[in-house]
Amino acid sequence: MRLVLASNNGKKLAELQTLFAPLPLELVTQGALGIGEAEEPHVTFVENALEKARHAAREAKAPAIADDSGLCVDALGGAPGVLSARYATLFGQPRSDADNNRVLLEQLRPHTDRRGRFVCALVAVRSADDPEPLIAFGRWDGEVLAAPRGDSGFGYDPLMWIPSLSASVAELTAADKNRLSHRAIASLQMLAMMREVWRLG
């Protein structure tokens, strides 16, 4: 089955291709099909993922899957949350991983509570009007470091410290991240539902 990924993020595509390898799926990005990005007007990961999946399915006339993920920090009331990818722009700064990380550290400076979690909502639909979307959710708890560590991954990975591993996410191998991450947790749930509900595999 060809499954349209409602994203143009190459690193996210690579992660999901690995995670979904056990099923007979061909993941193709919506950008490769000339489909523009959907609006993300909602305040929750699940609602935005559903919006993106429906948009991709409607435009491609094919099954689609969307990932909406980000970092939620307790001391900031859950921010950056659904605005994780463009957090710096809220403070008049450019949109980039480096600027997002820098702004996050600035916002956390007055706080001693550094707890947070990576969150991932995965939504898959067979069509734009699928009444039974598959919804999976993963959380990966950690603490925000005072300075970046590690060169792997993307986004906030260099700032997210996983105490049980004594490493930042950016210090992990790709294999370890694909085994332990919020996206991995959500993907395992999604694989099980695709097998059960969509009869794949």
Among 68, 129, 157, 176, the one annotated catalytic: 68
Is residue 8 a contact partner of residue 28, using CB atoms and an 8 Å limit? no
Sheet holding 26-29, edge to edge: 26-29, 2-5, 64-73, 115-125, 134-144, 160-162, 167-168
Tokens of 192: 């099980």
The rounded distance, in Å, linking the Cα atoms of 156 and 158 is 6
Identify whether 176 is a catalytic site residue.
no
Tokens of 60: 């491609």
Is residue 161 a contact partner of residue 145, using CB atoms and an 8 Å limit? yes
Alpha-carbon distance values, 26 to 1, 22, 42, 56 (Å): 6, 11, 29, 15
Q: Find where tokens 């992990």 sit.
A: 172
Rounded to the nearest angstrom, the gap between the alpha carbon of residue 122 and the centroid of all alpha carbons in its chain is 8
Taking only Cα atoms into account, the Rg of the chain, rounded to an integer number of angstroms, comes to 17
Query: Which residues are identified as catalytic?
Result: 68
